[in-house]
């Protein structure tokens, strides 16, 4: 039996903490020190959004070449059911605080409309789910495509999609009208990260890490320069920018090279957090905004920028993983058991 690779559990656990922290950072800075802290931390933390996609692509594009119906049933069981459950919780919390009163039958109609349009109240982070579900719909076919390519062809493909993404990000900012052409490109957007996770695992050689690390550092430096001098040029700062892709790849490969924890307690904690990371991610935004920040702001810590962020992050993480542990073992498991699937991925 193949030994479990703890580095991916470790990376997934750190990714959840990073996403919680980026949501705990206030949108407004009142002085230069706060601005620099946010400017440095936000791109580093946001790189883990891309890493989430990379982790999914790493595993699924390598394995999803079996029965397509079973693959979809497993995604519904593992991904869609918790997503729907937490969306209902967010909506119910919103309704409990709303001044608007509807007829009983209007609430489920409104919820379904919000759910399918991606506008569930107080669930800003749920955009991720619509992207990942779209990628999962393509995965059985993408996986076959990846398997059919040799290493040289895969390298060409990665260069192509990264080149297209670079043009997509920067052409408009420099006044180059390529929008109409780029709109017809199939391989772009968050798919880049999804494929990149698989490609790096397959093609990466440990001695190449220094070049990826350098690219990540340069990406961070360029991001800080853009934030400082061209803050309005948003496409070149976050999400799908080449600089962010470079940072995500560097962090991903850092864990690939050095992420296999030796300490037994740390390994156990990483596995446990990884197991409940999905539900913790889904729960964290509501817990952060409705509980953790309010509790922290009742203490003296509210007067200190960084300690407030750290305390809100830690409290949210503790409550989110506790909620995930309870719900994963009860309601979500009961709902998932309604769908019968074969074993495996």
Convert the pLDDT of each residue in 322-342 to its tens digit.
999 999 999 999 999 988 776
Quick one: pLDDT at residue 138? 94
Domain ranges of the chain: 29-268
Quick one: pLDDT at residue 235? 66
Q: Find the mean pLDDT for residues 244-266.
A: 93
Say yes or no to pLDDT of 236 above 70: no
What is the separation of C-alpha 311 from the centre of its chain, rounded to a whole number of angstroms? 22
Quick one: pLDDT at residue 171? 76
Lowest-pLDDT choice from 86-90, 126-130, 190-194, 338-342 = 338-342
Quick one: pLDDT at residue 339? 83
Residue of 129 and 186 predicted with greater confidence: 129
**CA gap 336, 112 in Å, rounded:** 20
Q: Find the mean pLDDT for residues 101-118.
A: 90
**CA gap 18, 27 in Å, rounded:** 16
Say yes or no to pLDDT of 1 above 70: no
Max mean pLDDT among 99-113, 115-129, 278-292 falls in: 278-292
Q: Pick from 264, 263, 221: which is nearest to 243 by CA? A: 221
Helix (H) or strand (E) holding 250: helix 242-258
**CA gap 312, 319 in Å, rounded:** 11
How much is the mean pLDDT over the chain? 91
**CA gap 328, 189 in Å, rounded:** 31
Lowest-pLDDT choice from 53-57, 147-151, 178-182, 252-256 = 178-182
Q: 10 Å Cβ neighbour count for 255?
A: 19
Quick one: pLDDT at residue 234? 66
Please, are residues 254 and 206 in contact by the beta-carbon 8 Å criterion? no
**What pTM does this model have?**
0.93
DSSP codes of every residue in 251-309? HHHHHHHH-----HHHHHHHHHHHHTHHHHHHHHHHHIIIIIHHHHTTSGGGGSHHHHH
Q: Residues of the chain with pLDDT > 90: what percent? A: 75
Quick one: pLDDT at residue 3? 66
Give the tens place of pLDDT for each residue, 40-68: 999 999 999 999 999 999 999 998 888 99
Say yes or no to pLDDT of 298 above 80: yes
Q: 10 Å Cβ neighbour count for 193?
A: 27
Say yes or no to pLDDT of 5 above 60: yes
Q: Pick from 202, 63, 56: which is nearest to 143 by CA? A: 63
Q: Which DSSP letter does residue 183 get?
A: T
Reported as a pLDDT band with limits 50, 70 and 90, residue 13 is very high
Q: Find the mean pLDDT for residues 254-282.
A: 94
Check residue 189 and give left, alpha or beta (phi > 0: left; psi -120 to 50: alpha).
Answer: left
């Amino acid at each position: 039996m193949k030994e479990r690779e703890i580095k991916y559990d470790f990376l997934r656990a750190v990714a959840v903490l990073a996403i919680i922290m980026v949501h705990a950072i206030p949108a407004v800075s009142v002085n230069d020190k706060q601005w620099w802290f946010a400017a440095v931390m936000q791109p580093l933390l946001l790189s883990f959004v891309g890493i989430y996609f990379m982790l999914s692509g790493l595993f699924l594009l390598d394995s999803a070449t079996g029965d397509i119906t079973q693959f979809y049933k497993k995604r519904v069981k593992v991904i869609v059911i918790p997503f729907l459950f937490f969306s209902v919780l967010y909506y119910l919390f919103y309704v409990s605080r709303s001044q608007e009163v509807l007829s009983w039958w209007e609430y489920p109609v409104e919820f379904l409309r919000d759910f399918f349009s991606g506008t569930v109240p107080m669930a800003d982070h749920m955009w991720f789910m619509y992207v990942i579900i779209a990628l999962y719909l393509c995965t059985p076919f993408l996986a076959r495509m990846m398997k059919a390519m040799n290493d040289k062809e895969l390298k060409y493909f990665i260069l192509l999609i990264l080149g297209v993404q670079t043009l997509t990000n920067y052409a408009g900012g420099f006044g180059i009208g390529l929008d109409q052409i780029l709109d017809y490109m199939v391989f772009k957007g968050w798919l880049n990260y999804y494929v990149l996770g698989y490609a790096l695992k397959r093609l990466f050689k440990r001695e190449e890490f220094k070049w990826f690390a350098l690219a990540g550092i340069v990406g961070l430096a360029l991001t800080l320069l853009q934030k400082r001098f061209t803050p309005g040029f948003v496409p070149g700062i976050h999400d799908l920018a080449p600089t962010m892709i470079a940072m995500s790849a560097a962090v991903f490969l850092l864990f690939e090279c050095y992420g296999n924890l030796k300490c037994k307690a740390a390994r156990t904690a990483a596995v446990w957090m990884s197991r409940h990371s999905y539900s913790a991610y889904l729960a964290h935004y509501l817990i952060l905004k409705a509980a953790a920040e309010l509790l922290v702001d009742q203490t003296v810590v509210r007067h200190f920028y960084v300690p407030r962020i750290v305390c809100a992050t830690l409290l949210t993480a503790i409550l989110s993983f506790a909620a995930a542990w309870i719900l994963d073992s009860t309601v979500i498991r009961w709902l998932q058991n309604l769908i019968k699937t074969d074993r495996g991925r």
